[in-house]
Structure 1
């Protein structure tokens, strides 16, 4: 690998790390909206989805961070059925 290729690779890695840091920081700077039935959702791109108790069977709190059609970061809190229910009715 020559010096120019190493420089380009380092720049790409640096840019990717900055994007990840900015999206994590943006989530903490944006006030979360709580979903209720009928809430209008304007989702262009999902950035992250998190659960309060991953692997739990039952209702859990979840948070989705996304970009709307204007490119603004939004955070949505909602309840969902946990992903840990296998072979359960």
Structure 2
């Protein structure tokens, strides 16, 4: 009986920890020209694709309130040669 109770408590604790991790992941926002961005600190930027065409990249940043955001925008890929 103690083993079953311990297992149930362990599963409940792990599920609540998982739910907190999922809830804290910010939603990806697409950049639109003219948007007001409150960027206090850039955390990371994904590298562009190795193609000669516009490539989507994502920038993770913190705003002045300390909230984390993910912004997706397009830049030219790194695969172009002259």
Q: Can you give the 5+ residue segments of structure 2 that lack an aligned partner in the other structure?
A: 1-20
- Say whether 1:39 aligns with 2:35: yes
The 1-side partners of 2:30 and 2:72 are apart by 5
TM-score (norm 1): 0.58
Q: Give every structure 1 segment of 4 or more consecutive aligned residues whose post-TM-superposition deviation is greater than 2 Å.
A: 83-87
Larger Rg: 2
The 2-side partners of 1:61 and 1:36 are apart by 13
Q: Can you give the 5+ residue segments of structure 1 that lack an aligned partner in the other structure?
A: 1-24
Report how many aligned residue pairs link the two structures. 61
- Say whether 1:70 aligns with 2:44: no
TM-score (norm 2): 0.62
